[in-house]
Amino acid sequence: MTIHATRRHLLQTAGLGLAAVPLMVARPSFAQSSGKTYKIALSNSYIGNKWRLEMENVFKAALAMDPFKTEVVGSIYNSGNDVSKQSQQMSNMIAERVDAIVIDAASPTALNGIIHQATSRGILVVSFDSGVTAPSAIKVNISQYDLGKGWAEWIVKQINGQGNVIMVTGVAGTEVDLDRNKGADSVWAQHPGIKVVNRFTGMWDSSTAERNTAAVLPSLPKIDAIWCQGGTDGVLKAFISANRPLPPTAGEAENGFRKMMLGIGGHTVTGYSAGSPPYLSLMALELARRILNGTYPKKNIDVPNVFLSNADLKLGVNVFADQPDSFFDDFTAGGPTSPVDICAQAAIDGSACTDQKLIINLPAA
Amino acid sequence: MTIAAVEAVDIGKAYGGVAALTKASFTAQAGEVHALVGENGAGKSTLIKIMGGRVRPDSGEIRIGGQAVSLNGPQAAHHLGAWTVFQELTLLPWMTVAENLLLQQEPRSSLGLISRQATLRDADALLARYGVMHIDPRALVEDISLAERQTVEIVRAVSHAPKILFLDEPTSSLVEREVEWLFGQIRRLREQGCSIVFTSHRWAEIRSIADRITIFRGGADVGTFTDIDEDEAVRLMTGRRVEALYPPLTPRPAAAPVMLEARSLSGPNLRQVSFALHQGEVLGVGGLAGHGHRELFRTVFGDAHASGGTLTVQGKEKKFRSPRAAIASGIALVPEDRKTEGLLLRMSVRDNASLAILKRLTRFGILKPQEERRAAQHVVDSLRVRTAGIGLAVGALSGGNQQKVLLGRWLETECQILLLYDVTRGVDVATKHEIYELVASLARSGHAILFYSSDAEELAHLCHRVLVMREGVVAAELHAPGITAEDIVSAAVRDHRAA
Amino acid sequence: MPIPETILAASGPRRSRLSHALTQNIGLALVVALLVACIILYCGLYIATQHRLPGGYELTSTLNNTMPLAFAALAQTLVVLTRGIDLSVGGVIDLTNAVAALTLMGGPVSTTIWTIAILGIGALCGLLNGVLVAVGRLQPILVTLSTLSIFQGIAIKILPQPGGAMPPGFTGVLANPNVPLSLIYIPLIGILWAIFRRTRLGVSVFAIGNDAMAASSHGISVKRTTILAYMLGGVASACAGLFLAANATAGDATTGDTYTLTSIVAAVLGGVSLFGGRGSGLGALFGAFVTVMVVNILFFAHIDPLYQTFYEGLFLLAAVIAANVIGQIVRRRR
């Protein structure tokens, strides 16, 4: 039901968007932005999944909210995972003489040349999510290692250091997958009572995770806990289909997983939910603004991981009954003291929040 | 005793179990023009392909200058001084005439690179040397006519000063003047001691140029003759007498309705052409090549757009935007160049036969195989197509049989108006006879037929009326009975301003 | 000299040399026109939004960003002309890019030697493709799809983590960020292409793309020509890998992937026929620049990010349709 409603909604917005966007959008260009102080552009490698969409939506919404509304003229570019296109777009940003470029990169190294060109022209480059190796770029990220470790530590506590665990990993060969697994393995190594009975990939995708779980489940003994990098709701659905009880599960921040943590849909799971938050783009944007106006030192920041247990979940705040299972609930950390607080509407369609202020708390300098 | 320039001894070749040649032999001397004649399917083209090094024989021996040779490619033949103009031309379509003429022997500049200027200059000189002034060496082969391509191919072969020259149906796409030119070249080569072996279906040409004739039938030679009349030759080839070649002309019913009417049709190379085609009528269109026949047929078939005039089909005015629309109105076209325009050579006889009636053979877009097979078998049976089966690729059939499949495809559509464009070009006597019979019986059964032919004799015997076209206009209209080939030719060449 | 008995006289004046040149190089003429149109549109948008003219930086960065694609399109053209297709272009770029990241770190001598070795790797990749296609008589699309995976696999094996740092001299020569050195490379490619077109190999490549059977009956070795075309294509792909590494200043074994598709787009935009035998490397080069100019145009048009790819597709489609229509008109008017 919800999926259908959303798809229709998306189609409608897309249709309206196409009709409304003439080839050349008369948007205020940088050159005319005399009242505003900074020009900041987001260079995103691709927009092929829900996470990237939410990441871009909150960025777009933030640009229409204070403090960015008055201080920043922003723009957003996608490059279809094509490095040379992203590089070309960034050189156009340099030509536009932006003050800062915020990037989610298509390659850790292939943009180093253009990043160097930007920074040597005095343009601030802040990378987040898919990071870059260029030393002159400022990096904003969570620790993937700590995330994997945090999930594992919670499991150890839940099952008192004794029991069978399955690990559902991510896309092999990526740095994120590697780091998360390393974090988990560091914990298992200290708890010989934990037995990882199977380790298979879920490709960070619900349906893949569900299929692969269903395939291995019949051969597995009783599972005491699930450690899952992504597609968590799919893994649990496979357990339900196999009439297995749902063990304590540490997983990503998918709405489907959190709904189960609240018991929506008839099955309840004890869970521990955290992930790479889409609001990393906001942290990067805020960092760029603060560095530019001199209120924050020019240094990398580690965004703290926010783990939520069943008790932390609130419908309409960090779980959404009317959003699809694939929606990432961690577009906001929730609450004025958390790293980021922004409304759901911003993540859904990129519109500015009407009833709340945007809060972004950078770690103490 | 002199050593023969080239000899084929008991050559045998089979394709997919069907024998094309069983025991084919001939001998040609130096300084001799030797014609190979026979029905389509008698194996002449296969023999030329073997002699040219393109096809390896299964058995038999080729001797050149008395030595047995093994030709493992056209190059091997070239080294022995034997050059071939195949029926399927070997020009490269998207390269210029000049590049084609000088392929693999391009003139180099001082830097060792191919010089375009010199290539053009040499090609121009080459064409001029052989009296070919009407072809621009800068033109792409794709953009010149079939006759011009044939001419270029002949020039290319002749330019290598061959000791032996094989020509497979060299005149089939040429008009009179070009044939004259070709014969001039052949005579010159003969004087130089070259041995020329060619195939043709045009008896008058064979008589005028050939020193000796070898007749083939069913994949083997029947005999070699220095002096043989047409009757005897046709009898040897087919066992049929030549008078019986054309079926008697049935007068068309006096009050037959008009099926197709053109009024002042104009377009490129077409000026104010008007005619009415009646039910049961064979309306001939004649004249020299390039005088608007092609454009007329294409316009009526919706493949070219008229700039003026009207077209009426069964009383209704039509403006065809595509051949599809013409087909929907019951008009079918059988084109001249069956290789490129009509048939899908790699597909089977069955597929080709059913192409025009796919709609009838399908239900919800899915082909009904048994109906398709039935329709294809009907074509094969009723037209006596010689094929090992309807699953065989059309490309493996002889030319005449390909033409029959193409004709048959349209007969299956049950269309009322047939446009036949030079359908007997390159077709042997026996198949010609079958096509004539077919045309006559189609007319009797009420079809209206617009019939263009480059063969005036054919028009004279087969048509109720003949429109002679010149420079895009209808220059004369001749009425049967009593049309002669001479009437048609003289109307075609007479200067209308002087008349 | 013999006097022919019958002369086939010309019926009218011949068409002018220019008219021939235009119709026979219509693909090239159209892509040049398209590129000029793109540049005008880009300049217009740039001036409208930036209130100044694009200058040296814009020129240099656009050139540097396009060179890898230009070489990839050239590689694709060489193979497509033989009536083949090379899906392994991206794989060769990945592989050579990865090798460059691992080896190019020493002084000028070692860098030069390794650069030549990397071009050799490209040639070997092409040799493998060419032999499989020409001798193995396999479909080019299947062969190169398989070798694409193989080359990608080797690339990721030897460079699992993106890295390396190109020597400044190497970047300075191939992708100098401050001086538009590529202005030298473009005419150089043009000259090399003109030379290639005037060698027997060049003519043979076109000839087998026209009609392999006819070409072979005139003594052209289809196998040899096919293999050499794939090899030259491999070298061009390796050039793309090197320019990409120079521009990035580092290596990544996966960044070449997108070039397989974009090289085909650039070649086709440049008037290269996928049916073989027609087209020019120069056209493909200009085609590459068109695709990059489209990115620039959409950038300065400030399109909503969600619809950027939509408009990019629309733009390319419109360009192809326009080129086709104009081409038809020119051919009809002959």
Every domain of chain B and the residues it spans: 6-242, 258-493
What integer pLDDT is reported at residue C244 of this predicted model?
94
Token representation of residue A361: 């708390």
**C195 lies within 8 A of chain B by CB:** yes
**Which residues have a Cβ under 8 Å from the Cβ of B9 and sit 6 or more positions away?**
B25, B60, B61, B62, B63
* pLDDT band of B476, cuts 50, 70, 90: confident
d(CA B456, CA B491): 11
Q: Which chains touch C (3 or more CB pairs under 8 A)?
A: A, B
Contact across the interface for C198 and B116, Cβ inside 8 Å: yes
Contact across the interface for B139 and C214, Cβ inside 8 Å: no
What is residue A364's DSSP assignment? Answer: P
What integer pLDDT is reported at residue C263 of this predicted model?
95
List the single residue in B with minimal CA-CA distance to C213: B90
Is the pLDDT score of B110 beyond 50? yes
Q: Which residues of B touch C224 (CB under 8 A)?
A: none
What integer pLDDT is reported at residue B405 of this predicted model?
75
Residue whose structure tokens are 């005008």: C40
Nearest beta carbon to residue C207 from set B74, B103, B116: B103
What integer pLDDT is reported at residue B399 of this predicted model?
67
| Domain span holding position A266 | 144-273
* pLDDT band of B494, cuts 50, 70, 90: low
CA–CA min distance C34, chain A (Å): 18
Token representation of residue A295: 């209120």
Contact across the interface for B177 and C24, Cβ inside 8 Å: no
Average pLDDT of span C133-146: 94
pLDDT for A35-77, tens place per residue? 568 999 999 988 877 888 899 999 999 999 988 988 999 999 9
Q: What average pLDDT does chain B have?
A: 83
Chains A and B, touching by 3 or more CB pairs within 8 angstroms: no
Contact across the interface for A96 and C50, Cβ inside 8 Å: yes
Average pLDDT of span C112-117: 95
Q: Which residue, among C299, C281, C280, C292, has the nearest Cα to C247 in the 3D structure?
A: C292
Q: Which residue, among C57, C68, C62, has the nearest Cα to C299 in the 3D structure?
A: C62
**A50 lies within 8 A of chain C by CB:** no
User: Which of C159, C242, C299, C312 should one mutate to test binding to chain A, selecting the residue with the greatest count of A CBs within 10 A?
Assistant: C299
d(CA B497, CA B473): 13
**C7 lies within 8 A of chain B by CB:** yes
Q: Which residues of C touch A23 (CB under 8 A)?
A: 301, 303, 311
What integer pLDDT is reported at residue B239 of this predicted model?
59
| Omega within 30 of 0 (cis) for the link into A67 | yes
Cβ atoms within 10 Å, residue A309: 12
Say whether B258-493 and B6-242 share the same fold.
yes
Nearest beta carbon to residue C162 from set A23, A89, A108: A108
- Which H or E run includes C58? helix C56-80
d(CA B485, CA B456): 5
CA–CA min distance C74, chain A (Å): 17
Contact (CB, 8 A) for A305 and A143? yes
Q: Which one is predicted more confidently, B394 or C131?
A: C131
**Which residues have a Cβ under 8 Å from the Cβ of C33 and sit 6 or more positions away?**
none
**C17 lies within 8 A of chain B by CB:** yes
Interface of C with B in 241-280 (CB under 8 A): 273, 277-278
Q: Which residue, among B170, B146, B207, has the nearest Cα to B44 in the 3D structure?
A: B170
Question: How far is C-alpha C228 from the geometric centre of its chain's CA atoms?
Answer: 17
What is the torsional sign of CA C90, C91, C95, C96?
A: negative
Residue B81's region, left for phi above 0, alpha for psi from -120 to 50, else beta, is left
Q: Based on the structure, what is the number of domains in chain A?
A: 1
What is the torsional sign of CA B95, B100, B104, B107?
A: negative
Would you call B238 helix, strand, or coil by DSSP?
A: helix
Is the pLDDT score of B472 beyond 80? yes
What integer pLDDT is reported at residue C1 of this predicted model?
45
Contact across the interface for C200 and B130, Cβ inside 8 Å: no
What is residue C82's DSSP assignment? Answer: T
Contact (CB, 8 A) for C194 and B116? no
| Omega within 30 of 0 (cis) for the link into A304 | no
d(CA C142, CA C139): 5
DSSP codes joined into one string, A145-206: HHHHHHHHHHHHHHTTT-EEEEEEE-STT-HHHHHHHHHHHHHHHH-TTEEEEEEEE-TT-H
- Domain B6-242: CATH class, spelled out: alpha beta
| Domain with residues C54-302, CATH architecture | Orthogonal Bundle (1.10)
B226 by Cβ neighbours in 10 Å (0-12 / 13-18 / 19+) ranks as exposed
CA–CA min distance C131, chain B (Å): 21
pLDDT for A199-209, tens place per residue? 999 988 888 99
User: Which of C25, C192, C210, C334 should one mutate to test binding to chain B, selecting the residue with the greatest count of B CBs within 10 A?
Assistant: C210
What is residue C16's DSSP assignment? Answer: P
Q: Which residues of A touch C49 (CB under 8 A)?
A: 29-31, 96
Nearest beta carbon to residue C162 from set A92, A109, A117: A109
* pLDDT band of A86, cuts 50, 70, 90: very high
- Torsion angle, CA of A287/A288/A292/A298, rounded to 10 degrees? 60
pLDDT for C92-105, tens place per residue? 999 999 999 999 98
Average pLDDT of span A73-88: 89
Average pLDDT of span A146-168: 94
Contact across the interface for C217 and B74, Cβ inside 8 Å: yes
β-bridge partners, B26: B8
Contact across the interface for C308 and A77, Cβ inside 8 Å: yes
Among B242-256, B330-344, C55-69, C178-192, the range scoring the smallest mean pLDDT is B330-344
**C15 lies within 8 A of chain B by CB:** yes
Q: Which residue, among B390, B333, B426, B419, has the nearest Cα to B147 in the 3D structure?
A: B426
What integer pLDDT is reported at residue C266 of this predicted model?
94
What is the torsional sign of CA B215, B218, B220, B222?
A: negative
Q: Which residue, among B484, B444, B448, has the nearest Cα to B466 in the 3D structure?
A: B484
Q: Which amino acid is at B65?
A: G
What integer pLDDT is reported at residue C26 of this predicted model?
85
List the single residue in C with minimal CA-CA distance to A77: C305
Residue A239's region, left for phi above 0, alpha for psi from -120 to 50, else beta, is alpha
Q: How far is CA B264 from CA B255, B261, B318, in A?
A: 24, 10, 14
* Percentage, residues of chain B above pLDDT 90: 27
**C18 lies within 8 A of chain B by CB:** no
Cβ atoms within 10 Å, residue C187: 9
* pLDDT band of B364, cuts 50, 70, 90: low
Q: How far apart are the first and last CA of chain B?
A: 58
What integer pLDDT is reported at residue C267 of this predicted model?
94
Name the most confidently modeled range: A339-343, B418-422, C16-20, C81-85: C81-85
pLDDT for C182-235, tens place per residue? 889 999 999 999 999 999 899 999 999 998 888 888 888 999 999 999 999 999
- ipTM > 0.95 for the complex: no
User: Which of A88, A89, A114 should one mutate to test binding to chain C, selecting the residue with the greatest count of C CBs within 10 A?
Assistant: A88
Contact across the interface for B106 and C203, Cβ inside 8 Å: yes
Contact across the interface for A21 and C156, Cβ inside 8 Å: no
* pLDDT band of A24, cuts 50, 70, 90: very low
Contact across the interface for A84 and C254, Cβ inside 8 Å: no
pLDDT for B300-339, tens place per residue? 888 888 888 888 888 888 888 888 888 888 888 877 655 5
* pLDDT band of A9, cuts 50, 70, 90: very low
Residue A222 lies in a domain: yes
Under CATH, what is the fold of the domain B258-493? Rossmann fold (3.40.50)
CA–CA min distance C315, chain A (Å): 10
Contact across the interface for C207 and B92, Cβ inside 8 Å: yes
Q: In what order do the strands lie in the sheet with B465-470?
A: B331-334, B417-421, B448-452, B282-286, B465-470, B473-479
What integer pLDDT is reported at residue A30 of this predicted model?
45
Contact across the interface for C218 and B90, Cβ inside 8 Å: yes
**Which residues have a Cβ under 8 Å from the Cβ of A218 and sit 6 or more positions away?**
A242
Average pLDDT of span A195-199: 93
Contact (CB, 8 A) for C229 and C161? no
Is the pLDDT score of B230 beyond 90? no
Q: Which residue, among B318, B308, B291, B390, has the nearest Cα to B349 in the 3D structure?
A: B390
Q: How far is CA C233 from CA A49, C128, C205, in A?
A: 35, 12, 12
Residue A56's region, left for phi above 0, alpha for psi from -120 to 50, else beta, is alpha
Is the pLDDT score of A321 beyond 80? yes
Contact (CB, 8 A) for C330 and C23? yes
d(CA A127, CA A110): 13
Q: How far is CA B57 from CA A95, B62, B76, in A?
A: 71, 9, 15
Nearest beta carbon to residue C220 from set B104, B132, B178: B104
Is the pLDDT score of A272 beyond 60? yes
d(CA B213, CA B35): 5
* pLDDT band of B361, cuts 50, 70, 90: low
CA–CA min distance A281, chain C (Å): 15
DSSP codes joined into one string, C158-191: H-SS-B----HHHHHHHS-SSS-THHHHHHHHHH
**C192 lies within 8 A of chain B by CB:** no
Contact across the interface for B185 and C4, Cβ inside 8 Å: yes
What integer pLDDT is reported at residue A108 of this predicted model?
87
Average pLDDT of span B231-236: 80
CATH code assigned at A219: 3.40.50.2300
What integer pLDDT is reported at residue B149 of this predicted model?
92
What integer pLDDT is reported at residue B388 of this predicted model?
64
Residue B311's region, left for phi above 0, alpha for psi from -120 to 50, else beta, is beta
Name the most confidently modeled range: B303-307, B449-453, C83-87, C326-330: C83-87
Q: Up-side HSE of residue C313: CA atoms within 13 Å toward CB?
A: 6
Q: Which one is predicted more confidently, A236 or B350?
A: A236
Contact across the interface for A89 and C45, Cβ inside 8 Å: no
Q: Which amino acid is at B346?
A: R
